[in-house]
């Protein structure tokens, strides 16, 4: 039997205009950058003032996904939300964001939740998750809203693309089967892959950069076959504070356009430590971009060979 309804409220003061804060919250597709627990957000339906979104996010030590209905009210700086398809142990979840413009030019952000657990035994867990995630989301929102243009200068998005004369499903399979990457990809030394449910993976791997340095990273990956795999790194190289990405496989005539897209944010305090005292943020972005593009293109090239070999009937 579901638990009794519970309510919670959290708030934070942010030194940024209320409209700026509202826009950050309204752009749900950017939440993996904005909120640490968020891995990926897809729009299911989208209108001027109403939308349905599907969200993948960490909840404690697990990853959950759900579908939410949102109402957007830019005039009153309010966003309402209600989960339509929940993930146990959540039986019901809803709430609102409200941004108040203060006379000082600052903003007061209030985040309210109302929820029920699937049973009383899980209510304490849900209380803790709502509290921790709310605090983390508000603090991250404050950091990004207050950093403004400075945060934009630390962030870069880029994409590498390869044309493949093969089937998108074979290219998808090559990228999806990360458990075989130590056999298939020279720059991958070790892989630890968990897939508790189909399409949701925890991938930890050791990779070697072009300069010979080794990195251990951990990512959550969401598979959306046969055309997309999205991910967010949660254990990052020292130079980065954010890395999200996606692999896309779009049918194109008698082949497929395969792309690897990355969004990265440099950790400014790490630049001198990693690259030397004279290195700049721009140097760090170029260094990270080169390393990631090198590995992405190597992976896409090998995926191309795999898919084209299968298209010719020459391989497993």
Q: What pLDDT, on the 0 to 100 scale, is given for residue 275? A: 96
pLDDT along the chain (316 residues), means of 10: 91 97 96 91 94 89 88 98 92 97 97 95 92 93 86 92 96 97 94 93 89 87 96 93 96 94 96 96 96 94 96 67
- The two tokens of residue 26 are 């309204």
Spell out the residues 6+ positions from residue 71 whose beta carbon is closer than 8 angstroms to its own. 49, 50, 79, 80, 81
Q: What pLDDT, on the 0 to 100 scale, is given for residue 3? A: 87
Q: What pLDDT, on the 0 to 100 scale, is given for residue 314? A: 61
- The two tokens of residue 200 are 């949701």
- Give pTM, 2 decimals: 0.88
Query: Which residues on adjacent β-strands are paired with residue 248?
Result: 228, 259
Half-sphere exposure of 1 (CA within 13 A, CB side): 1
Q: What pLDDT, on the 0 to 100 scale, is given for residue 316? A: 56
């Amino acid at each position: 039997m579901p638990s009794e309804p519970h309510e919670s409220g959290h708030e934070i003061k942010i030194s940024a205009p209320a409209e700026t804060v509202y826009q950050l919250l309204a752009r749900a597709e950017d939440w993996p950058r904005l909120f640490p627990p968020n891995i990926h957000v897809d729009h299911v339906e989208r209108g001027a003032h109403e939308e349905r979104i599907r969200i993948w996010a960490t909840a404690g030590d697990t990853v959950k996904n759900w579908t939410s209905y949102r109402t957007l009210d830019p005039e009153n700086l309010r966003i309402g939300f209600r989960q339509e398809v929940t993930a146990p142990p959540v039986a019901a979840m809803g709430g609102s964001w409200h941004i108040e413009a203060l006379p000082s030019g600052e903003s007061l952000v209030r985040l309210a939740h109302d929820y029920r657990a699937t049973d009383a035994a899980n209510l304490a867990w849900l209380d803790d998750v709502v509290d921790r995630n709310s605090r983390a989301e508000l603090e991250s929102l404050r950091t990004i809203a207050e950093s403004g243009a400075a945060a934009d200068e630390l962030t870069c998005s880029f994409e590498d693309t390869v044309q493949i004369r093969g089937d998108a499903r074979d290219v998808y399979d090559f990228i999806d089967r990360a458990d075989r990457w130590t056999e298939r990809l020279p720059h991958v030394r070790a892989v630890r892959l968990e897939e508790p449910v189909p399409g949701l993976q925890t991938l930890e791997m050791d990779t070697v950069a072009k300069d010979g340095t080794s990195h251990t990273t951990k990512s959550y990956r969401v598979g959306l076959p046969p055309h997309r795999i999205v991910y967010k790194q949660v254990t990052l190289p020292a130079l980065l504070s954010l890395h999200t990405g996606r692999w896309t496989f779009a049918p194109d005539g008698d082949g497929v356009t395969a792309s690897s897209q990355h969004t990265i944010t440099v950790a400014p305090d790490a630049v001198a430590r990693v690259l030397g005292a004279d290195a700049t943020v721009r140097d760090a972005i170029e260094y990270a971009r080169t390393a990631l593009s090198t590995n992405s293109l190597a992976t896409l090239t090998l995926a191309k060979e795999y898919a084209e070999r299968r298209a010719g009937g020459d391989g497993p």
